[in-house]
Structure 1
Amino acid sequence: MNMGKKKEEKELQEIFDSFGADPEVLREWDLAVEKIKAVRGVLRIKTPAGYRALKKVSVTESRVRFVQQAVDHLAGKGFPGVPRFIRTKYGDPYVVHATGIYYLTDWMPGKEADLKKAKNVFLAAETLAKLHNAGAGFEGGGFGQETREDFSAQWGRYQAKLSSYDASLEDRREQNVMDESYRTHRSELNKMIHHAAEQLGNSPYGQILEWARENKTICHGSFSRQNLIVDKERLAVVDFDHCHYGHPVHDLGALLTRYMPRYDWDASIGFSILDVYRAVREITAEEMTVLAAYLSFPQRTLEVVEAYFERTRDWDTGRFANRFRKQLALDEGREMFVQDLIARYGLNLSAPSFAPHLEGLEEYDDLESMESSSVETRDDGWETREGSAVEVSENVSVQVEEETPDVSLVSHGDEYGEELEDEAGQSEPNVRFALPRVKQRKPQKPGPWRPRP
């Protein structure tokens, strides 16, 4: 074997190794690889037939089957631009391998949605409503029916964590600026949490969960900018790995909680988001009441506290303190928006008013930094940087050998980085990797309602 061929094989193997994957799975689809790079949790592969996305997941087989069936259901109901699983040459939707479970989809062209632009937020709201409409009536597998429905359980876990954080502070001899900020505002956090829990308990939350169970509705579970791909005026939704049975309020509430802080919880933006959503899928009075209770919870502020005490972010204490205080200031705007929501729609809830009024905060623009652990954004370009991608002058084809290893293939049916190309820019044509064979009730439409004057 000549040196160029060896180098390309080595580089391809290195990319798969860095991804924790095994290139032998490529032959299950007979993929002829021209380019490949790791991009936000998937391998983006250029083939003669177009771009593909190969993903490896470390979950149960039943979970992958649930996702695959949910995606097929959405596509069958007319939801556009959903990346369906591409079946292997044996007709299977995914591959079970010793290193994990792999599935292949088309690569959705475009860029991550810039949700700092209000028009993209409105487009996201419209798309989410269409997803919820299409997701009704899904008769999928047995995963996810109860596991993610009740967000009040998550609130309870936060309360337990805060108690443990309080105890850890008592054991510290010295208090830093973040410790002091947390201590100063701990009582206000507690009031916000208890008020939200009380309002949720007084809301028709049980009723809307029962409706969701009867109508078998799908939530995306991770409806964030990384998974919203804009191509011209079209918006595609990718990464359904977190989809589950649940009520649409969960997705809608998460969208507002995640992106309204960028607009300082401006009521005109928030009501426009809701109006765009309602134009596609009406929101009942009961659902709006639950949504208002959901938005009463200081989710983003607690995420900062959790990241600090559990050291999931590599920030210094000053940045944590600044971020914490900024989120508390945004909580004041969030509570004002909930007050407006309750007044506009005449909801039977008590308006929250517990967040502190903070002034003179240091400015920063990293509101997106809690959203993803990814270090890069999606880019469909193939920028050249030394050391992390392989490009073959013609194609890397995967050939089948008769040898059969101890790997089985099922019989049924977060994260986009920059590419690094071969530093020499030269390669031998038709490099071939000889890989071993791998074994193998009708949805109820909520009634319309109008806000009270």
Structure 2
Amino acid sequence: MYDYGLSILEQYGLNAESSARTRGALLCRTEKGLVIIREFGGTEKKLQKQQELLEKLSEQGCLVDCYIPNQEGALVTRDRDGIPYTIQQWYEGRECDTRSREDIFRSIRMLAQIHAKMQMPVVEFYVEPSLEDEYQRHNQELKKIRSFIRKKGAVCSFEKLYLATVESFLTAGERTLMELRESDYAGLRKEAIEQGKVCHGEYNQHNVLMLKPGTAVTNFEHWGFDVQISDLYRFMRKILEKYSWDVRIGMDMLRAYHQKKPVTISEWENLRIRFSYPEKYWKLANYYYVHKKTLVSRKNTEKLQNLVRQKENWEYFIRKCFESYPF
């Protein structure tokens, strides 16, 4: 019977009092507290750097999911079948509830706090790609998908809606790329890399745990050296999509972050540019393109319809929230 890594506990001198499957992992209660076992698919070199980052944050009082070395001091342990696993410290808590303003602002403040501490000597290999290159590539992909659908003919609802809306979203994408090139982004990125500023890489509601004594941040696997405001953008976008781009909650999130870690004019301008790019539109189009075209999911079509419905709210949010530097 497949044990999902449970058998490796003996290599840590631990015993499972109870265990339960969770999101892509196995949660175990042991004599030394709660731990999480995950199958490992990354590189051990990056994992070691991630552990250095987590230990630094932990030493400074942050609640993070540090890796636990096995009895031989290794972070990666193989079971009897040679499958690699890791074990991390875990916490009694629940994920951030996006319906709770209190949870949202706790998460924002926590992000600002860890950003202030997340600096390491830079390793060139882990520097995130340029946002300019990313936007240019995405714009080209939107055009490619447009040509593909035109050539074969729009059949399903997704394809028809894409052709009806792509010009508007592509115009926004090309305008945003131009604004990015004319902004201080290059200087902002250069400064972030020179100072070894680290981003979480996937800061969202699933990776923030609400505890009685505090707030824990988990799942740093996508960490990298980059402009840290990108983490704030990702979290805010996820929330704002759920709140139909409510300007008030957007401004409140910005202020909550700024109170803990001041946002410079260049960072604020970069945040505006990131919000101006139709990232969710590109994601839905790209998902359609790389999957079977004969099986366009109803859910994906509904997401595109909802995105188009929210377009005016999105554009209004950008105008109102970024009218002038608010701090």
**TM-score clears 0.5:** yes
Structure 1: distance between partners of 2:250 and 2:110: 16
Letter aligned with residue 84 of structure 1: C
Partner of 1:103: 86
- 8 Å CA contact 1:66–1:140 kept in 2: the answer is no
Q: Where does residue 3 of structure 2 map in the other structure? A: 15
Q: Give the alignment partner of residue 151 of structure 1, picking from 113, 119, 131.
A: 131
Q: 2:187 aligns with which of 198, 204, 207?
A: 207
- Determine the C-alpha separation between the residues in 2 that align with 1:133 and 1:331: 34
Taking the TM superposition and a 5 Å limit, the aligned residue runs for 1:408-447 are: none
Counterpart pick for 2:33 among 29, 38, 50 = 50
Residue in 2 that maps onto 1:90: 72
Q: Which has the higher relative contact order, 1 or 2, with Cα contacts under 8 A spaced 6 or more apart?
A: 1
Q: Which residue of 2 aligns with 1:124?
A: 107
Letter in 2 for 1:184: A
Give, in whole Å, the separation in 2 of the partners of 1:51 and 1:321: 40
Structure having the higher Rg:
1
In structure 2, give the amino acid aligned to 1:212. Answer: A
Counterpart of 1:33, as a letter, is A
Structure 1's 339 and 100: CA in aligned 2 closer, same or farther, altered over 3 A? farther
The offset of 1:261, in angstroms, is: 1.5
- Answer yes or no: is 1:281 the counterpart of 2:269: no
State the 1:129 CA deviation: 0.2
Say which of 160, 164, 172 aligns to 2:152.
172
Shift of 1:63: 1.6
> Following TM superposition, by how much is the alpha carbon of 1:24 offset from its aligned partner in structure 2, in angstroms?
4.8
The aligned amino acid for 2:184 is P
Identity %: 19
Q: Structure 1 residue 41 and structure 2 residue 24: aligned? A: yes
Partner deviation per Cα, 1:3-52 (whole Å, 9 max, x = no partner): xxxxxxxxxx4232xxxx5x553322022123223211221112233221
* CA RMSD, Structure 1 to Structure 2 (Å): 2.3
| Alpha-carbon separation, structure 2, partners of 1:231 and 1:155 | 37
**Partner Cα separation in structure 1 for residue 304 and residue 198 of structure 2:** 33
SS state at 1:307 partner:
helix
User: Residues 43, 317 of structure 1: CA spacing in aligned structure 2 closer, same or farther, 3 A cutoff?
Assistant: closer
Return the match for 1:308 from 255, 267, 288.
288
Measured after TM superposition, the shift of residue 174 of structure 1 is: 5.6
Question: Aligned AA for 1:225?
Answer: Q
C-alpha distance 332-112 of structure 1, shift in aligned 2 (>3 A): same
**In the alignment, residue 83 of structure 1 is paired with which amino acid?**
D
Q: TM-score, normalised by structure 2?
A: 0.91
Q: Cα deviation per residue 1:132-184 (whole Å; 9 max; x = unaligned)?
A: 00103x1365541x2x2422322222223223322321342562221111111
Alignment of structure 1 residues 325-404 onto 2, 5 Å: 325-345=305-325
CA deviations over 1:236-289 (Å, ceiling 9, x no partner): 111111111111111011112211111221111111101000000001001111
Structure 2 letter corresponding to 1:93:
L
- Give the distance between the partners of 1:110 and 1:337, measured in 2 at CA: 33
Secondary structure of 1:196's counterpart equals helix
Quote the Cα distance in structure 1 between the aligned partners of 2:13 and 2:201. 32
Count of residues in Structure 1 that have an aligned counterpart in Structure 2: 326
How big is each residue's C-alpha offset from its partner over 1:343-393, in whole Å with a ceiling of 9 and x where there is no partner? 231xxxxxxxxxxxxxxxxxxxxxxxxxxxxxxxxxxxxxxxxxxxxxxxx
Distance in 2 (CA, whole Å) between partners of 1:295 and 1:314 is 32
- List per-residue Cα deviations over 1:400-427 (Å, max 9, x = no partner): xxxxxxxxxxxxxxxxxxxxxxxxxxxx
- Indicate whether 1:247 and 2:227 are aligned: yes
Cα-to-partner distance string for 1:299-330 (whole Å, 9 max, x where unaligned): 11222222223238997555433321211232
Letter of the 2:105 counterpart: F
Q: Any idea what the Cα deviations from partners look like across 1:188-242, whole Å, max 9, x if unmatched?
A: 0111111111111111001111111121111111111111111236221111111
Cα contact 2:142–2:166 (8 A) shared by 1: no
- Deviation (angstroms), 1:331: 2.9
